């Protein structure tokens, strides 16, 4: 196992486990998040990402194992930990009884922020997420992307040291997604630690310093996105049709490959050579070569089967 020589670990989980009755949703996972990192959790539906986030934010008690946030045990220091966190939940839970501004004002009270400083912070945050013009709009009249941005602003109301973002860009258009990415990067540059989950692998590759891929409650791999790609795939992928001749050819060349439906994917660090070999020896036309991505790692590790 690789030892991560972190600056300071702000989250440390050891054999962290969560059971709902008999069902094990998070199965003895261990990870450490360093201060100032953007740390990602990837995994298919039901992998246990949200459950892990909820244990970190102290709203769902762990079943077993160790979990500390900022050096404090989650089961005994809930209030102290929650004061330092900003949370964007997977499901929107803005207060529909209030306007944009009122939502932030009411939320600021929960953190004991005095009214005058709250007004100042709210103005800054609405500016930050580009919602100043919607200040007096009711929540139901906001678009999905606006709601997501407002939740991000709400998560920042207490100037948190760490952000927990559970699918922050779910359902956003490319513009809004880019905006959120910029915001996350700018928050990281202010020294804020960011823990996020996402199903967009390009997003994870772009934002995360390190990430884990989970499945069935377990962590399959963890590391830096580009290193994971190199380690599990190589630099490139050559795709050809699923044909016995191709397979035989690949076997002869002792290549690393997977059959995915009608396609064969060859993992390689030397795409020219493979492409050349396939074209020459197997006389095939249908070949594409491309750079390997995190998505390839994800699919290789978690399989292509849909989760119910």
Partner 1 sequence: MSYFAVPKISRRVLKVWLRNRDVFMKTYKVNFLPPFLEPLLYLFALGFGLGRYIDVIEGISYVKFIAPALIAISVMNSSFFECTFGSYVRMYYQKTFDAIIATPLSIEEVITGELLWGATRSLIYATIMLPVIAAFGLIELPSSLLIIPFSFIAGFLFATIGMCFTAITPNINSLNYPTFLFITPMFLFSGTFFPLALLPEPIQYFALATLPLTHVVRITRALTLANLSGFLLLSLAWIVLVSLILFVLAVNLMKRRLIV
Query: Considering the rule CB under 6 A, would residue 157 count as an interface residue with ligand ATP?
Result: no
Query: Considering the rule CB under 8 A, would residue 17 count as an interface residue with partner 1?
Result: no
Query: Considering the rule CB under 8 A, would residue 95 count as an interface residue with partner 1?
Result: yes
Query: Considering the rule CB under 6 A, would residue 50 count as an interface residue with ligand ATP?
Result: yes
Lay out the site mask for Mg ion across 66-105 (x = CB under 5 A, - = otherwise).
------------------------x---------------
- The residue (of 25 and 278) whose beta carbon lies closer to ligand ATP is 25
- The strand pair at 236-241 and 287-291 is best described as antiparallel
Smallest separation, CB 72 to partner 1 (Å): 13
Query: Considering the rule CB under 6 A, would residue 90 count as an interface residue with ligand ATP?
Result: yes
Is 97:115 a contact under the CB 8 Å cutoff?
Answer: no
Where do we find the tokens 């991000």? 152
Number of residues near ligand ATP (by CB under 6 A): 12
Query: Considering the rule CB under 8 A, would residue 304 count as an interface residue with partner 1?
Result: no
Distance CA 167, CA 148 (A): 10
DSSP string across 270-288:
-HHHHHHHHHHHH----EE
Distance CA 202, CA 93 (A): 26
Options 60, 68, 193, 268; binder of partner 1; rule CB under 8 A: 60
Q: The tokens of 156 are what?
A: 């920042």
Lay out the site mask for Mg ion across 20-59 (x = CB under 5 A, - = otherwise).
-----------------------------xx---------
201-218 burial, b if ≥16 CB within 10 A, otherwise e?
A: bebbbebbebbbbbbbbb
Distance CA 297, CA 129 (A): 33
- Residues forming the site for ligand ATP (CB under 6 A): 20, 23, 25, 43, 45-51, 90
């Amino acid at each position: 196992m690789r030892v991560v020589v972190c600056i300071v670990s702000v989250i440390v989980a050891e054999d962290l486990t969560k059971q709902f009755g008999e069902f094990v949703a998070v199965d003895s996972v261990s990870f450490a998040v360093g201060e100032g990192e953007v740390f990602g959790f990837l995994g298919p539906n039901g992998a246990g990402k949200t459950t892990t986030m909820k244990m970190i934010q102290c709203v769902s008690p762990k079943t077993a194992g160790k979990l500390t946030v900022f050096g404090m045990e989650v089961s005994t220091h809930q209030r102290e930990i929650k004061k330092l966190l900003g949370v964007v939940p997977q499901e929107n839970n803005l207060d529909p009884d209030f306007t944009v501004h009122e939502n932030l004002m009411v939320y600021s009270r929960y953190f004991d922020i005095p009214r005058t400083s709250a007004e100042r912070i709210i103005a800054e945050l609405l500016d930050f997420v580009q919602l100043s013009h919607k200040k007096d709009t009711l929540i139901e009249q906001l678009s999905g992307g606006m709601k997501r941005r407002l939740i991000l602003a709400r998560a920042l109301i207490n100037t948190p040291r760490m952000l927990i973002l559970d699918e922050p860009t779910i359902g956003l258009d490319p513009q809004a997604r880019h905006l959120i990415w910029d915001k996350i990067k700018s928050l990281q540059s202010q020294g804020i630690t960011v823990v996020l989950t996402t199903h967009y692998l390009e997003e994870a590759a772009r934002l995360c310093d390190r990430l884990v891929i989970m499945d069935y409650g377990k962590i399959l791999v963890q590391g830096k996105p580009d290193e994971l790609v190199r380690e599990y795939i190589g630099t490139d992928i050559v795709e050809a049709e699923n044909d016995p001749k191709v397979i035989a050819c690949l076997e002869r060349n002792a290549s690393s490959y997977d059959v995915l439906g009608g396609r064969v994917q060859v993992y390689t660090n030397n795409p020219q050579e493979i492409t050349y070999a396939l074209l020459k020896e197997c006389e095939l036309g249908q070949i594409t070569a491309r750079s390997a991505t995190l998505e390839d790692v994800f699919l290789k590790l978690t399989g292509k089967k849909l989760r119910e």
